[in-house]
Amino acid sequence: MSKEKLIVALDVDSQEKALELVGELTAHVGFFKVGMELFYATGIRIVQEIVAAGAQVFLDLKLHDIPNTVGQAARVLVRSGASIINVHASGGGAMMRAAGTAAREEADRLGVPAPLVVAVTVLTSIDRQTYQQEMGFTGEIAERVRSLALLTRASGLDGVVCSPQEIRLVRDACGPDFKIITPGIRPAGAQLGDQRRVMTPGEAVRAGASHLVVGRPVTEAVDKVAAVTAILDEIKQIEAGC
């Protein structure tokens, strides 16, 4: 279903605001993203509340630490009921393997489906100048994204988070079953905000994205359902033409 591809980012700082958005949009959206702002304001309970309301959660905390710490954190996050959790691919293979193994073991212990565990490659706010001049990396962003995606797959995780511009590159490198979650989605005419490497919903699906993350173009719209419907219609048009 088209709505299963859409993740709406709950970039708010209170349980009341988040649950209001969930109540308004849950019939139209596959997932809601709980990021640092909301999670740090409310704790794990907000994830449990959203799941109890019948929605799926992408818990976007970008775990990045030594393997044991990340593994233990992943165990805790499985207990929230989130359907997707993530780590930073730059933490390395051992760290990613620890996260994936811990998530699967904890889910098995609880008798629940294991969440997808995906890895963030290069943040969509980072452009070429930042990547090379400020962060000191040589080469191109796309090369690093591809390398991290291959490491993620080799480490046994389910997919990556990457910008729209790297979707096709990752899809070609990692195959049809590898999950590609794509922030930096902006409907035509929407403000870019702090995103730099962006694409429209239709372009991203055509390139091979499995899930699209959309925040402000939906959550700040006067008619939020209409904004979601427009995105889903665009996705459906692309799927119908595939």
The set of catalytic residues is 60, 62, 65
63 is in an annotated binding site: yes
195 is in an annotated binding site: yes
47 and 15 in contact (C-beta within 8 Å)? no
Buried-state track 156-171, b at ≥16 Cβ within 10 A, e below 16: ebbbbbbbbbbbebbb
158 is in an annotated binding site: no
28 is in an annotated binding site: no
How far, in Å, CA of 212 to CA of 182, rounded?
5
164 is in an annotated binding site: no
67 is in an annotated binding site: yes
Sign of torsion, CA 212 217 220 223?
Answer: negative
7 and 58 in contact (C-beta within 8 Å)? yes
25 is in an annotated binding site: no
Q: Quick one: which of 135, 115, 197 has its CA closest to 162? A: 197
Give the number of C-alpha atoms closer than 13 A to the C-alpha of residue 224, restricted to the C-beta side: 19
232 is in an annotated binding site: no
224 is in an annotated binding site: no
Q: Which residues are annotated as a binding site for substrate?
A: 11, 33, 60-69, 124, 186, 195, 215-216
Q: Which residues are annotated as a binding site?
A: 11, 33, 60-69, 124, 186, 195, 215-216
